[in-house]
Amino acid sequence: MKKQFKILIAEDAAELSPKKTDLFLQHGFMPEFCSKDGIKVVELINRFHPDIVLMDMFMSNLDAIGVIRQVKKHSTEKNPVFVIVSNFDSDVLEREALSAGAAYYVIKPYRVEDLLDRISDLLSYCIDDNRIKSKGEILSLDKELEITVTDILHQIGVPAHIKGYHYLRDSIMVCVIHPEIINAVTKELYPSVANKYETTSSRVERAIRHAIEVAWDRGDVDILNSYFGYTIHNGRGKPTNSEFIAMISDRLRLHNKRSA
């Protein structure tokens, strides 16, 4: 039997149609609703002990970041997975949310089905601390590195709402920590990312390729040139998946060495 997860939603139940509420149940989530009041959210977290907390960035009395900090400050148990939704597509807000401990920052409007799929992906990584850890599998990714890679992908123009964005971010982080894996993209890197998100290597490869294509179509030419100048100037077009991942991870490693 599939495990059911408790999800606390800081949203008025009336704002979600019965059909959308049913989607939570269909995806294995038992929803508990709360008004958009940060103090009440903290109280319900302590009483309800949810696996996931889905809440607005800005709420009365206490915002989402304040909620996360309060829970972490006083918690003696494992904290829930925090997912923050916001009306503002802001790199600064997303960085602050991730730094505070949010697992995901969602821009409104969003499709409930897509959000639940993403939350399911997050749970496979954040909740199960007793997973068997094999070589090449993403184990523990540094938060500061995650924020840095997130900033780079935003600068380049990779949209955060597509799956390839998350696959790219994790792939780059793994290659910064384990540079040798770039020589085994198909055999090790894609499978490790696919294992984390419970998908297939081929889907990871296609999603990353699509994310790069989107960035190339909508990205800032000067920013792209600063990272992939040789690719743009010699007429080769966009970089391959492995070139994209390798060039950014190499740049980050070089920066880290200079900073050391």
The whole-angstrom separation of Cα 45 and Cα 40 is 8
So what's the pLDDT on residue 130?
37
Lowest-confidence range among 70-74, 109-113, 166-170? 109-113
pLDDT, average across residues 38-55:
93
Lowest-confidence range among 141-150, 171-180, 198-207? 141-150
The whole-angstrom separation of Cα 190 and Cα 208 is 10
So what's the pLDDT on residue 236?
53
Residue 86 CA to its chain's centroid (Å) = 15
SS3 category, 146: helix
Q: Does the pLDDT of residue 56 top 90, yes or no?
A: yes
Q: Tokens 């990312």, residue?
A: 193
* Percent of the chain topping pLDDT 90: 20
Degrees to nearest 5, angle at CA 235 with 230 and 240? 65
Look at 223 and 133; give whichever has higher pLDDT: 223
Beta-carbon contacts of 70 under 8 Å, excluding residues fewer than 6 positions away, are 42, 62
Q: Does the pLDDT of residue 144 top 80, yes or no?
A: no
The whole-angstrom separation of Cα 129 and Cα 98 is 20
pLDDT mean across residues, the chain: 79
Contact 225, 232 (CB under 8 A): yes
DSSP alpha helix (H) spans, the chain: 18-26, 38-48, 64-74, 91-100, 112-126, 143-156, 163-177, 190-197, 201-218, 221-233, 241-259
pLDDT-derived band at 72 (thresholds 50, 70, 90) equals confident
Look at 200 and 3; give whichever has higher pLDDT: 200
So what's the pLDDT on residue 38?
95
